[in-house]
Amino acid sequence: MNQSKHVYWKPGTRAWATVARRAGWVAAALAILPLSSYAQTDYPSRPLHLVVPYQVGGQVDTIARSVAEGLGKRLGQPVLVENKPGASGIIATNYVAKSVPDGYTLLLTLASPITANLVLYKKLPYDPRTELRPISDIAKGTGVIVINSSLPVRNIDELIAYARKEPGAIRMGSWGPGSTPHIIQHYMNKTYGIDILNVPYKGELPIMTALLGGQIDVALASVFTLKQPLATGKIRALAVLGSKRIGSLPDVPSMAESGYDDEAYRAVTPTTLLAPAQTPAKIVERLGREISATVQSPEVRDRLLAMELEPIGNLPHEAEAEYQTYLPILLKLNADTGVTLD
């Protein structure tokens, strides 16, 4: 009896073929595991790359480096910040959207590359709605409308009145079509029948240089960028976007206080961390928990507060809900400008 069993399992028999075939299936399944289950179990096993669509030294870059340090400590792996500026954020955003969805390549960005670009470009190489997924909103800040002090105005009413009196004489800096300054400049022109000119730059720092030098008259900038320029006395703050004042500029009224509570002045969006859309849910949830804890840590929270930012650090489902809320608002504001770039 035992002898017949040994013969039954010999190579070439029908039973042997069945076992070999099933073993092949198991081997194929195991070959796939390093890309899914194993990757999730061992994650992270090497450094992460945090891609920023803006220049070194700006607000988003500073946020990225603050968060990267804390997140790296929690994950036990370095988080390396890579700056890929240019093309209205397309270069960096497309790079991450097309990256391997394994949780090792992430994007930290303002709203424009994942909102305005959908309107500005008919042939955008990525679709943020389907190729990226939010992990967490890191922080939310507001902008301040400032002018070169040589401009004879002291509030928003006077700015609009001067623009009516001198059509085409006021130049406002922005960091390109679809950016918040560009939307506000266009909205003001359309709403109040004025003609403020848009002058594009590659970021906040060049805008501040131009404003201080008198090449432009008006700008919208973060408090982080404005701290030193305001101290020179060469520029003056007129109003803060949104409905409330900010601690470091207690004498500067909000746009709502100034009588301008339009939606265009209330669309304050977060700086968001995203991953390629097909990144495994377990990795996204892990990153969401770790980044939330990082943002709420005293060290990182204090850094964000010092930049006049509101720390958020929400979880992936909350960040996704926030995105779905402000996306249609910004798409409409951008569409109303009538600007396209291809």
Mean pLDDT computed over 104-128: 95
Strands 270-276 and 197-200, sheet pairing: unpaired
Superfamily for the 143-265 domain = Periplasmic binding protein-like II (3.40.190.10)
**Percent of the chain residues past pLDDT 90, beyond the cut:** 70
pLDDT of residue 21: 52
Give the Cα separation of 267 and 261 in Å (integer).
Answer: 11
> Which run of H or of E encompasses 320?
helix 316-337
pLDDT of residue 131: 98
- Give the domain 48-140+269-337 fold: D-Maltodextrin-Binding Protein; domain 2 (3.40.190)
Mean pLDDT computed over 215-223: 94
Q: What is the pLDDT of residues 293-304, one digit of tens each?
A: 999 999 999 999
Instruction: Quote helix, strand, coil % in the chain, to nearest 5.
Output: 50, 15, 35
Identity of the residue numbered 327: L
pLDDT of residue 22: 52
Residue that is written with structure tokens 């002058």 in the block: 199
Beta bridge partners of residue 143, listed in sequence order: 222
Task: Give the confidence band of 12 by pLDDT, cuts at 50, 70, 90.
Answer: low
Q: What is the pLDDT of residues 264-283, one digit of tens each?
A: 898 789 999 999 999 999 99
Compute and round to an integer the Cα radius of gyration of the chain: 26
Asked whether the domain spanning 143-265 has the same topology as the one spanning 48-140+269-337, the reply is: yes
Rounded to whole angstroms, what are the CA distances from 197 to 117, 187, 307?
21, 12, 29
DSSP assignments along 131-151, one per residue:
HEEEEEEEEE--EEEEEETTS
Q: What is the pLDDT of residues 45-58, one digit of tens each?
A: 999 999 999 888 88
Task: Give the confidence band of 11 by pLDDT, cuts at 50, 70, 90.
Answer: very low
Strands 235-240 and 171-174, sheet pairing: unpaired
Q: Who has greater pLDDT, 41 or 21?
A: 41
Mean pLDDT computed over 165-173: 97
Residue that is written with structure tokens 């954020």 in the block: 89
Residue that is written with structure tokens 């746009």 in the block: 255
The whole-chain average pLDDT of the chain stands at 88
Q: What letter does residue 188 receive in the DSSP assignment? A: H
pLDDT of residue 28: 46
Mean pLDDT computed over 236-251: 92
pLDDT of residue 149: 96
Mean pLDDT computed over 68-92: 95
Helix (H, G, I), strand (E, B) or coil at 196: coil
Domain layout of the chain by residue ranges: 48-140+269-337, 143-265
In contact, 205 and 55? CB cutoff 8 Å? yes
Least confident stretch, 42-51, 68-77, 202-211: 202-211
In contact, 92 and 51? CB cutoff 8 Å? yes
pLDDT of residue 87: 87
